[in-house]
Structure 1
Amino acid sequence: MKKLYLIHHSHTDIGYTAVQETIMDYHVAYIEQAISIIEKKIQETGTCSFVWTCENFWQIENFFEQASKEQIAQFEEYVALGFIDFGKNYLNMTELVDSTILNEFLAKADQYARKFSRKIDSAMTADINGFSWSYCDSLLKNNTENLFTCVHGHHGIYPLFENQMPFWWESTTGERLLVWNGEHYHFGNELQIMPNSRMTYQIKDQYINDFETGQMDVAEARIFGYVDELQNKGYKWPFIPLMISGFASDNAGPNEDVLDFIHEWNYKHGEEITIEMIGLNEFFRIFREQDLSEVPVYKGDWNDWWADGVGSTPAATKIYKEAVRKYRLTELLAKENHAEKSLLDQAKKDLMLYAEHTWGYSSSVSEPWNTLVNELEYRKSAYAINASQEINKYYAHLLKKEYGYAMPRANRPQHFLVINPYEKKVKQNCRLLVDYWEHIGNRQMRGELVPFLEVYDYETNQVIPCQTQTTARAFEIEVILELEPKETRKLGVRLNEEKTEKHTYASFVQGTEGVTDISYPNKVNDYEIQTDYFIVKLSNEKGIAQIIYKPTNSNLLDESAEAGLFAGIYEKTEIHTDPYQERRRMGRNRKGKHAKRWVAELQDIVVVKRGELYTNLQIDYKLEGTKVYSLFLKIYQNLPKLECSVRIQKENEWAPENVYVSLPIPVDTERFIKKSGNVMRPAIDQLPGTNTEFYLLDTGVMHINEQGVGIGLCIHDTPLVTLGTLENHLIELSSESTQFKNQAPLYSWVMNNFWETNFKVDLSGFYEFSYTLFLEEAVGTIQVLDEVLTQINQGFVVIPVE
């Protein structure tokens, strides 16, 4: 072993150590400090052995916004000379990030990198525990050929059952990204290479809590011990790359004092191990000069252990998901560029910042009353809220300019334009909203007029079947349309002189109290709901007990499941230590060994209304940890589809807790999920040694059964799901022996306050989560089913027009 390469950088946590805008200023200042250090060294010696690496392009982008032309020129001079380097990643993201937006931000870094004659083709990440498979494609698409990862194994772990090793990550298209699967990003500090930065985190030796022994003595023991241990494991490379920070903290700046230690070390031990500072891209240039023929190749998703932060802010995450939906619709709808595009650009930046991996302040669980905890929480949510506002403004402008979106006005006619934004023919339901203040003809809209409402095709005057329900401020009139690719259809709402709802004059096998509890051929009853496609059987114990698909007479649900479809499950781990330590000792489980679990107890089932288009069903449960847990379902008569709204009033709890929604939909083939723009098979299409416990989804889950019928579940606004047992258990990382989990029981994981730092601990409040279960006959391929899933997630666009 001849070389120990140090990559000096600052790990970016936007909010963990200070409020977000202060963190931004830190990193701008660190670039300025690095420039000053390099300038001074060049003035003193004519060259510079100090090298600073900007971890990501976000740091550079912020520096450019504040720096003078002279500072930018000096920065770029030092980049060209290799004294400053940068990674082409934008930030350390969660898999919540929209893959199209991420690709756009990666492209910005690539475009800037092309400015320099030396090759800048590397990215790095720190802290985060994984990436969607599509991230590999995105890096390669943007001319990033190398990735250095520094996984923080807290409540997670690096892949491949081993770190400090390279591998080729094969993309979905068969291209290869060279990855160095490295140590924790502070490991150079832990070896005591950085003066005044003493820390012990992973190493277990006699110097833990020893602040008296000299730095060189500790460094000698640890560096030689570490090198010996690597060599004993078969490490073959002639160098070891390590990350190092200027002080023992996230968001730490540069420290030129490291050069003094390097000089002293090399004078004393240089014949055995030489320490040298190096930039990220220079490291990969040197590494690629080695014989890489035996570097292993792996393909699959690198499923993230740190995706679960989204479950601690379910309300803000729901706003984020809706903003992403509207952003995707703007991409489909826009026919030209608009002056308001700056709104969209800012929205994309805010979406990126919400999806960044830091979820709050470092003491969010141990000190939930702390002012900084609350400030960071609201700022984090503000990214999603601001993105929602910006996209809504742009969306409304686009629809107004290109499609005739009409603002409210007195006596506005009830005309609506329904837009199919897709390149496929689509049949689905959509909703027309008529406000309470509106007049239809000369009559103000009110509940008594609902039976007389009629929807018609504006061009043909053909009446379209509809069904209406009331909302807080409007009447929601639902219709089902089949539209050609990119078709728009104008509809109108008017009053019919006769009621559009059916009259009943005689009772038919029914008591006078109106309860439908008698079994009789072709007679509806309150124990099942029949549609053209389904027989939904109701149970006084579970709620929805069976969904029989009529064409095959098969049950879509697992009758042996502990909880019924969409029923709630609550978990709590009592605090035996303190709120911080109780969570820390869970490891990779998201609950303690003594966790208690409650399944929702059914309280009532009410068939609210049977209409021409759908049947409304309400199911109320009693669930520990909540005041309210209710389901509101629409079961469609002429579509193989049902929608469910899960409404929860959650109580406050400081102890670690989880809330799940049961999804007992068995799989007889292979389960697929949509994840960060990529369709993959959980527990199968994964790198060895990665997380198979839970996944962060884009749109939902799906499979094609043995009869060739596509079965999909769109999970609209709560993206986490878990696979397998909910019990605390021995963790099995991804391998051939874990592929059975692909068909394991599935749960929507709607809330958690698991992490002992930076997660929001208080989950109390009112929530609503939406799901759509659908079937697609003769679907053919999973790609076609994925397109249907996307269409259901985003829907038709409906706007009022003149």
Structure 2
Amino acid sequence: MQQILLLGHTHHDVGYTNSPRIIDRMHVRIVDHVLDLVDAHPGDGPDAFRWTFEVARPVLEFLRTASDADRERLRRGVASGRLAVTGGYLNMTQLLSEYEFDTSYDALAALADAGVPVRTEQHGDVNGTAWGSVPAMRRVGIDRLVMALNPDHGRAPFEQPTGFWWEGPDGDRVFTWLSTHYGFGEEWGIVDADVEEAERRILAFVEQLDARADYPYDTALVHAGNDNRWPTALFLEVVRHWNARHPELPMRTTTIDEALDVLEAQAVRADVPVVRGEWSDWWSHGHGSTAREVAVYREARSLALTAQATLALSELRGDGRPELATVLGYRRGPVRLRTRDEIARDTAEVDEQLLLFAEHTWGSWETYSKPHSTFSHSHWNGKAAMAYTAYDVARDLAVEGLFRVAAAGDPDAEHRSGVLVANPTGRNRVEPVTVEVKVGEKGVRMATALVAVPAFGTALVPVPAEPRLVGESTTIEAGAYRVTVDPRRGGVVSLIDTRTGRELLDPRSTHGLGAVLVDRVPADSTHPMVVRDPKDFHPDHPGPDFERSIGAGDASPVVRESADFVSIEWTTAAPTVPTATTTLRLYRDGDLIDLDVRLTKPEVFGPESIFVAFPFASDDPEFLLETAGAVYAADTEQLPDTSKDWYSIQHAVGVRGGGADVLWGAIDAPLVQVGGIHTGRWARKLEAGDGSVNSWLMNNLHFTNFQARQEGTGVYRYRFASRPGGVTHESVRAFGRDLLQPLQAREYAGPVAAVAPTLRVSPADRIAVELRQVPDGVRARLRNLGADALEATLEWTGDGVHVPGSPVPLAPHGVADVLLRRDAAPSSPVE
């Protein structure tokens, strides 16, 4: 070893050590304080004060209100190498979609405008990130990634520290430094200037690196930071003490940019490995600790995308005269229309709240140990409010967008009534929608219809009649399937694709499709996580064993039918789940199947897991999983030693090989276990004994900032379909995009434009298109869903909109923006 680089930073938690309401604003104050520390400790020697802002958000917030002098101090500090700002918005979980990735990276433009270059992205604590983050980083010029993993509840893909090239699905690469846990900065006495302890610990660390044959670097990178530490210059004493004692091995402070310059150059000379695949996060099991709020967050981002599309289409078509309400009511239309600036403001608020919720800090450091404390409840209230705020504002935007797009472009639109459905995507769709409709003066009911809606278009259909009660039966048949239900086994025991005659369910399964499974640790378990410390739910302690109960019932299923569908409903119960009502719908046209599970789930303390099972038939299954910006094959397209017991998906899973080929999707719950239930195996290789996809709704297998209780009364929704022609990476991604951007439906009475010019994009089935108002017009962001390059063409079917020349080239998994503009300025909102 020839040198030691000491990296000063604070680990950014939005909460944990204090309420997220307090922490978020204090991190902005940290920027001011760091600038003062730079001024107070001038010089450029090895013990100069150097600092890295671990994430970009506090610096972006600082720049919103900073004086010209403070902006110059920041710019000067970065230019001189005393400061670095990294490109990650926050330390994010795998909840993020590619839409949120883009939102976070688009925000970096404000740093460029301030003269602050961003070259590196740094994460702490989080044990994985989506494969699609590689091309997303490269699109904004970031080609280095630092992951300071927390090894609790999982493994790192290689021994920490080390470097490798991470290759994205498109072939681009980022140099990745797999660092030590950032918390060593406090544990080793560095941030508090315990110079003797720091010397002892750092010396032992260097000796370990020197002894490793797989460490081709002459530099040791050491973190000087911990959770939400208020910056001080105390760690400079460690540098001075060390250099006085060890002149043969100099230490100097560094920024992450300087450190990566050194380490990347050495990695190039050493020809370090190139690896491809998903970095699946072991800590993602925490997504199942708060099932209801995660579902709210996922619904909020779908509403946000829908709102952006309908509001953008309304602008391109030109405002009509939307129906306005006279009461600010949840079930009513808008009382006024937002201005363009107001839309931009509210959309930005939704973006911000989505990113804050998807950040990795779930609760406080006493949430698990003191679940009833006022602080624990206050902290979770602050965190959950991020999801609910995003939902409230996004839903309101989406309602306004629907009313505006219905009347857009036609000031004399005829008043009509029915169920209004908008398609926020660039391809024609025929899908079920479920909508609340009025019954009498004050009553409501839920109605479901199968609706065809053109790309970026709307449809108005009659309010569906209430389904007819057929009676009790165990078998239904409609469209492409025949279904048999046995409540004693929890659900569907036979699912026949009538087009092929193939049985889609595994005959070996002890439970049916849609069955609710409850796993609990036996009361007499002696596993270390039970008798010693919940932190021992860890690869070093395989297990624990679980007792599984299958939700079962003895009442006969109830069958209903309408013009569009046939449904079957059954009720079961299991320990800790006193009631589960499951409804499966088959549609007379098309091959989609919807399954809704309504749980009554009282609060329970103590380790348990709740699953909804889908035991598909496959003797030699391969599972294709949708992550942000990519689809990967479980096990074979993953980084080594990343999570194979469970996965956090976006929406879709493909099951293929040796039996039924199925596209499956979860609307509300991101966690799945595939090929069986593997909790506690800590497997290095996925051993898929069957073709099952198990939706892991809830668990409380945690020890710190996740909820100790388990509850989540509500409805959890799934959609799936047999694909006899086969399942591909691209079809999984397209299925997931449809679930992310569902058809928007609402009972409606108001003007409906007679002529609705719209945007046409080709090839529509291979491209996802997101519309959004931007200062100069409407941005159409095109995403290539596949691994082959293609050319996209865009056409506006009416007059008055300028569409730049086509075709638009899209690289494999590539993204391109096209700016659309009305020939005349957008009309003012109608009050």
- Pick the TM interval, shorter chain: 0.7 to 0.9
Measured against aligned partners, the alpha-carbon deviations of 1:165-206 in whole angstroms (never above 9, x if no partner) come to 110001111111001111010224444434456xxxxxxxxx
Give the structure 2 partner of residue 127 of structure 1: 125
Shift, 1:783, TM fit: 1.5
Shift, 1:656, TM fit: 1.4
Structure 2 contact 132–168 (Cα < 8 Å) conserved:
yes
Give the structure 1 partner of residue 206 of structure 2: 227
Give the structure 2 partner of residue 697 of structure 1: 649
Measured against aligned partners, the alpha-carbon deviations of 1:282-339 in whole angstroms (never above 9, x if no partner) come to 1122234436141110010000112122211111111111111112223443224933
Alignment of 1:394-409 (within 5 A): 394-404=397-407
Alignment of 1:351-390 (within 5 A): 351-390=354-393
Structure 2 contact 677–694 (Cα < 8 Å) conserved:
no
Measured against aligned partners, the alpha-carbon deviations of 1:742-772 in whole angstroms (never above 9, x if no partner) come to 9653210001122111111222352210111
Give the structure 2 partner of residue 649 of structure 1: 600
Alignment of 1:556-595 (within 5 A): 556-573=504-521, 574=523, 581-588=532-539, 593-595=544-546
Alpha-carbon separation, structure 2, partners of 1:500 and 1:347: 37
Give the structure 2 partner of residue 554 of structure 1: 502
Structure 2 contact 154–539 (Cα < 8 Å) conserved:
yes
Alpha-carbon separation, structure 2, partners of 1:491 and 1:545: 35
Measured against aligned partners, the alpha-carbon deviations of 1:613-643 in whole angstroms (never above 9, x if no partner) come to 3222221112011221221222223332321
Structure 1 contact 662–748 (Cα < 8 Å) conserved:
yes
The DSSP-based 3-state class of the residue aligned with 2:713 is: strand
Q: Which amino acid aligns with 1:166?
A: G
Alignment of 1:300-315 (within 5 A): 300-315=277-292
Measured against aligned partners, the alpha-carbon deviations of 1:600-623 in whole angstroms (never above 9, x if no partner) come to 223323223234332222211120
Shift, 1:41, TM fit: 1.9
Alpha-carbon separation, structure 2, partners of 1:685 and 1:45: 45
Alpha-carbon separation, structure 2, partners of 1:754 and 1:661: 18
Give the structure 2 partner of residue 242 of structure 1: 222
Higher mean C-alpha displacement, 66-75 vs 136-145: 66-75
Give the structure 1 partner of residue 777 of structure 2: none
Alignment TM-score, normalising by the size of structure 2: 0.80
The DSSP-based 3-state class of the residue aligned with 2:476 is: strand
The DSSP-based 3-state class of the residue aligned with 1:360 is: coil
Return closer, same or farther for 1:651/1:476 CA change in 2, 3 Å cut-off: closer
Alpha-carbon separation, structure 2, partners of 1:682 and 1:426: 29
Structure 2 contact 480–497 (Cα < 8 Å) conserved:
yes
Alpha-carbon separation, structure 2, partners of 1:528 and 1:418: 31
Alpha-carbon separation, structure 2, partners of 1:120 and 1:610: 58
Alpha-carbon separation, structure 2, partners of 1:475 and 1:692: 42
Alignment TM-score, normalising by the size of structure 1: 0.83
Alpha-carbon separation, structure 2, partners of 1:580 and 1:57: 41
Give the structure 1 partner of residue 806 of structure 2: none
Structure 1 contact 9–253 (Cα < 8 Å) conserved:
no
Measured against aligned partners, the alpha-carbon deviations of 1:629-665 in whole angstroms (never above 9, x if no partner) come to 2212222233323211111111322211111111101
Give the structure 2 partner of residue 265 of structure 1: 242
Q: Which amino acid aligns with 2:585?
A: K
Give the structure 1 partner of residue 52 of structure 2: 53
Q: Mark the runs of 5 or more structure 2 residues left unpaired by the alignment.
A: 317-339, 409-413, 751-831
Return closer, same or farther for 1:70/1:122 CA change in 2, 3 Å cut-off: same
Alpha-carbon separation, structure 2, partners of 1:599 and 1:432: 31
Q: Which amino acid aligns with 2:508?
A: S
Alpha-carbon separation, structure 2, partners of 1:34 and 1:610: 66
The DSSP-based 3-state class of the residue aligned with 2:282 is: coil
Return closer, same or farther for 1:649/1:282 CA change in 2, 3 Å cut-off: same
Percent identity at matched positions? 23
Return closer, same or farther for 1:353/1:181 CA change in 2, 3 Å cut-off: same
Structure 1 contact 88–110 (Cα < 8 Å) conserved:
no
Alpha-carbon separation, structure 1, partners of 2:126 and 2:17: 17
Give the structure 2 partner of residue 465 of structure 1: none
Determine if the alignment matches structure 1 residue 177 to structure 2 residue 202.
no
Determine if the alignment matches structure 1 residue 491 to structure 2 residue 438.
no
User: Which of structures 1 and 2 has the bigger CA Rg?
Assistant: 1
Give the structure 2 partner of residue 8 of structure 1: 8
**What RMSD, in angstroms, separates the aligned Cα atoms of the two structures?**
3.1
Structure 2 contact 161–180 (Cα < 8 Å) conserved:
yes
Determine if the alignment matches structure 1 residue 141 to structure 2 residue 136.
no
Give the structure 1 partner of residue 80 of structure 2: 81
Alpha-carbon separation, structure 2, partners of 1:274 and 1:347: 48
Q: Which amino acid aligns with 2:459?
A: R
Give the structure 2 partner of residue 282 of structure 1: 258
Give the structure 2 partner of residue 393 of structure 1: 396
Alpha-carbon separation, structure 2, partners of 1:82 and 1:556: 60
Give the structure 1 partner of residue 152 of structure 2: 154
Shift, 1:96, TM fit: 0.6
Return closer, same or farther for 1:328/1:682 CA change in 2, 3 Å cut-off: farther
Give the structure 2 partner of residue 209 of structure 1: none
Alpha-carbon separation, structure 2, partners of 1:146 and 1:95: 19
Measured against aligned partners, the alpha-carbon deviations of 1:394-424 in whole angstroms (never above 9, x if no partner) come to 222222223239xxxxx98533433333322
Q: Which amino acid aligns with 2:14?
A: I
Structure 2 contact 421–743 (Cα < 8 Å) conserved:
yes
Give the structure 2 partner of residue 775 of structure 1: 722
Give the structure 2 partner of residue 509 of structure 1: none
Give the structure 2 partner of residue 786 of structure 1: 733
The DSSP-based 3-state class of the residue aligned with 1:70 is: helix
Alignment of 1:592-611 (within 5 A): 593-611=544-562
Give the structure 1 partner of residue 664 of structure 2: 713
Structure 2 contact 529–537 (Cα < 8 Å) conserved:
no
Measured against aligned partners, the alpha-carbon deviations of 1:108-146 in whole angstroms (never above 9, x if no partner) come to 2255147548x6411111100000100111111111111
The DSSP-based 3-state class of the residue aligned with 1:37 is: helix
Give the structure 2 partner of residue 474 of structure 1: 444
Structure 1 contact 671–743 (Cα < 8 Å) conserved:
no
Alignment of 1:498-509 (within 5 A): none
Shift, 1:2, TM fit: 1.5
Alpha-carbon separation, structure 2, partners of 1:483 and 1:584: 51
Structure 1 contact 683–742 (Cα < 8 Å) conserved:
no
Alignment of 1:589-668 (within 5 A): 593-667=544-618, 668=620
The DSSP-based 3-state class of the residue aligned with 1:603 is: coil
> Number of residue pairs matched?
712
Alpha-carbon separation, structure 2, partners of 1:422 and 1:392: 18
Higher mean C-alpha displacement, 8-17 vs 58-67: 58-67
Give the structure 2 partner of residue 533 of structure 1: 480
Q: Mark the runs of 5 or more structure 1 residues left unpaired by the alignment.
A: 198-214, 406-410, 439-471, 503-513, 517-525
Measured against aligned partners, the alpha-carbon deviations of 1:518-552 in whole angstroms (never above 9, x if no partner) come to xxxxxxxx232122321212335323111011122
Alpha-carbon separation, structure 1, partners of 2:689 and 2:425: 31
Alpha-carbon separation, structure 1, partners of 2:482 and 2:133: 42
Return closer, same or farther for 1:223/1:553 CA change in 2, 3 Å cut-off: same
Structure 2 contact 676–689 (Cα < 8 Å) conserved:
no
Shift, 1:773, TM fit: 2.1
Return closer, same or farther for 1:628/1:475 CA change in 2, 3 Å cut-off: closer
Alpha-carbon separation, structure 1, partners of 2:77 and 2:505: 62
Q: Which amino acid aligns with 2:166?
A: W
The DSSP-based 3-state class of the residue aligned with 1:71 is: helix
Shift, 1:692, TM fit: 0.7
Determine if the alignment matches structure 1 residue 752 to structure 2 residue 699.
yes
Q: Which amino acid aligns with 1:539?
A: D
Alignment of 1:189-200 (within 5 A): 189-196=186-193
Alpha-carbon separation, structure 1, partners of 2:541 and 2:557: 35
Alpha-carbon separation, structure 2, partners of 1:327 and 1:494: 27
Return closer, same or farther for 1:221/1:666 CA change in 2, 3 Å cut-off: same
Return closer, same or farther for 1:254/1:419 CA change in 2, 3 Å cut-off: closer
Shift, 1:684, TM fit: 1.7
Structure 1 contact 301–686 (Cα < 8 Å) conserved:
yes
Q: Which amino acid aligns with 2:7?
A: I
Q: Which amino acid aligns with 1:64?
A: L
Structure 2 contact 622–634 (Cα < 8 Å) conserved:
no
Structure 1 contact 28–59 (Cα < 8 Å) conserved:
yes
Higher mean C-alpha displacement, 18-27 vs 606-615: 606-615
Return closer, same or farther for 1:492/1:651 CA change in 2, 3 Å cut-off: closer
